[in-house]
Chain A
Amino acid sequence: MRSLIYTIPSSVIMQSVDDETLLFDSETELFFALNETGAMFWESITKYTNLSDVYDELSDIFEVVQERLEDDLLTFSALLIQQGLLVVGE
């Protein structure tokens, strides 16, 4: 898992509502809903600043092939970066 340093902008907040996890970016005024897996990914992302640390934690939780988890995490992170919910770099 290649190392990717990131930060979460201070404008992004998260709330669990019903069975969903909502993210809100006050800069863009956009809302995003995460499913159960997305919520677990996000929770792990909030704990660290390096994607490889996130991968290490998630690999203990999800019983999937290494490459599959890596692909999913990178795809998810790319979506977050595209939407401004994650910023690459310190």
Chain B
Amino acid sequence: MNNSDSPLTPNLYPLIIECCRIEPDFDRLVSLASYIIDWDQVIKSSYAHGVFPLVAKSLKSIPYIPTDVRRLFKLTTIDIAQKNMRAASELIKVVEILKSEGIEVITFKGPALSQMAYGDIVSRQYGDLDILLDEKEIVRAVTLLNEAGYENILPLEVLRNQTCIDIIKDFTIVQQNNRVAFEVHWKLFEKKYAMKSFDQGFRNIETVVLNGYEVQTIGDELFLVYLCIHGSKHMWERLEWVCDIDRLIRNREFDWDKIVSMALLLHQSDGVFLGFALGRKLFDTPVPSSIEPFINTPRMEILMDEVVDAIENNLFDQNDFQRNKMIFLFQVRIIKTWLQKVMFFLDVFFGISPEDCQTFHLSDRWKYLYMILRPYRLMKKALAKVMRWL
């Protein structure tokens, strides 16, 4: 089943996946490329999956590619590199602003992940930049960044509301001039994925060098676990995320006993192991034997097939409702026990949502009122939609 407007060009995803391997097979690339009818689909899909730089690099010396397509590959690669260089520079500026005021900043994903996994800041695509701060410092940090020209997407009052702080995990700010966006985090995991104590208990710091400047990032094991949970939460809709896991495992040393311990403490441990299983299936990621019992299971095979089927049939390209429904049901399937599934369901549909605490600023003492006020909020939202339509 393919949900694109036009049929998928033959060998589209086998080609893209081969391009993302650590050492793509040249003969196989030539063979796959010879069947490509619509190179626009290759370009569009590579970009959507965040792996354009890798695909462009792998296809550089392959025949059968039209000249105008080659030109587009080169121009887009340079465009991505420029965006990334601008983003990395902005990240360094933000780190310097906060550090100069005594605020410790941990950066993760984005340029730090690119440097750790790929050895440079231009081989993967990234948009928003992520920084992690101490919860006690968020208001001060965001205020400082506002003074330095960063605009808030939501009102600052949200960060002064403890219920909001407990519900949401990040706050977006955007640089006024160049529109580089930051997600300011104070925890890595939402409550439904891990307790706060897990987040902070396992947090350790490492250093990565971005263009000669040292920044702090999350320690290797926690970073890998985080990336797997993040990918599984979104049903691995971007191949880039599987690629990141593959490259990190190949380029860094990990304490795998620690990773297994962390995974088993999480509400969605299979989400962690799924990342390694997908890496091995798509890119032959070398996974230690201690992980094999967790990924060589019929259940893991079913979850992997679901992800690969969704990627190969462009199911992430559906309308928002269908796509979100597919991802939600996948999230429920990843959870092992029925009790945890029920808790997850209750949290999604009946827990206080970020929209609730952003609309009504209630103190912690009155937070039970959110459930009563929610129907009013939803009616108001529906009415606004109807009025716009009219």
The interface residues of chain A lying within 8 Å CB-to-CB of B85 are 13, 15, 22, 24, 31
The interface residues of chain A lying within 8 Å CB-to-CB of B74 are 18
The reply to whether the CB of A65 lies closer than 8 angstroms to some CB of chain B is: no
Partner of A26, one of B60, B84, B86, B121: B86
Could you tell me if A24 and B78 are in contact, using CB atoms closer than 8 angstroms?
Answer: no
Secondary structure at chain A's binding surface: helix, strand, loop or mixed?
strand
Residue of A nearest to B82 (CB): A31
Could you tell me if A22 and B86 are in contact, using CB atoms closer than 8 angstroms?
Answer: no
Could you tell me if A18 and B211 are in contact, using CB atoms closer than 8 angstroms?
Answer: no
Could you tell me if B89 and A14 are in contact, using CB atoms closer than 8 angstroms?
Answer: no
Could you tell me if B88 and A13 are in contact, using CB atoms closer than 8 angstroms?
Answer: yes
The reply to whether the CB of B122 lies closer than 8 angstroms to some CB of chain A is: yes
Give complex CA distance A26, B213 in Å: 14
Within 8 A of A (CB), among B174-224: 177-178, 211-213
Could you tell me if A17 and B78 are in contact, using CB atoms closer than 8 angstroms?
Answer: yes
The interface residues of chain B lying within 8 Å CB-to-CB of A20 are 78
Could you tell me if B82 and A22 are in contact, using CB atoms closer than 8 angstroms?
Answer: yes
Could you tell me if B178 and A29 are in contact, using CB atoms closer than 8 angstroms?
Answer: yes
The reply to whether the CB of B58 lies closer than 8 angstroms to some CB of chain A is: no
Could you tell me if A24 and B89 are in contact, using CB atoms closer than 8 angstroms?
Answer: yes
The reply to whether the CB of A59 lies closer than 8 angstroms to some CB of chain B is: no
Seed contacts A14-B211, A24-B82; 12 additional CB < 8 Å A-B pairs = A10-B213, A13-B89, A15-B120, A15-B121, A15-B122, A16-B120, A17-B77, A18-B57, A26-B90, A26-B93, A29-B178, A33-B78
Could you tell me if A18 and B78 are in contact, using CB atoms closer than 8 angstroms?
Answer: yes
- Across the A-B interface, give the 7 residue pairs with the lowest CB-CB distance, nearest first: A26-B89, A17-B81, A13-B211, A24-B85, A15-B122, A31-B82, A17-B122
Q: Which residues of A contact B (CB under 8 A)?
A: 10-11, 13-18, 20, 22, 24, 26, 29, 31, 33
Give complex CA distance A53, B152 in Å: 48
The interface residues of chain A lying within 8 Å CB-to-CB of B90 are 26
Within 8 A of A (CB), among B30-86: 56-57, 60, 74, 77-78, 81-82, 84-86
Could you tell me if A15 and B89 are in contact, using CB atoms closer than 8 angstroms?
Answer: no
B119 to chain A, nearest CB (A): 11
Give complex CA distance A10, B90 in Å: 13
Give complex CA distance A11, B86 in Å: 11
List 30 contacting pairs A-B, 8 Å CB cutoff, sorted by A. A10-B213, A11-B89, A13-B85, A13-B88, A13-B212, A15-B81, A15-B84, A15-B85, A15-B120, A15-B122, A15-B211, A16-B120, A17-B77, A17-B81, A18-B57, A18-B60, A18-B77, A22-B81, A22-B82, A22-B85, A24-B85, A24-B89, A26-B90, A26-B92, A26-B93, A29-B177, A29-B178, A31-B82, A31-B85, A33-B78
A33 to chain B, nearest CB (A): 8
Residue of A nearest to B213 (CB): A10
Could you tell me if A22 and B78 are in contact, using CB atoms closer than 8 angstroms?
Answer: yes
Residue of A nearest to B92 (CB): A26
The interface residues of chain B lying within 8 Å CB-to-CB of A10 are 213
A68 to chain B, nearest CB (A): 30
Give complex CA distance A13, B15 in Å: 33
Give complex CA distance A40, B79 in Å: 23
The interface residues of chain B lying within 8 Å CB-to-CB of A22 are 78, 81-82, 85
The interface residues of chain A lying within 8 Å CB-to-CB of B177 are 29
Residue of B nearest to A26 (CB): B89
Q: Annotate B250-270 by CB proximity to A: 1 below 8 A, 0 otherwise.
A: 000000000000000000000
Within 8 A of A (CB), among B105-157: 120-122
The interface residues of chain A lying within 8 Å CB-to-CB of B81 are 15, 17, 22
The interface residues of chain A lying within 8 Å CB-to-CB of B121 are 15
B82 to chain A, nearest CB (A): 6
Residue of A nearest to B56 (CB): A18
Residue of A nearest to B53 (CB): A17
Give complex CA distance A16, B120 in Å: 9
The interface residues of chain B lying within 8 Å CB-to-CB of A14 are 211
Within 8 A of A (CB), among B312-338: none
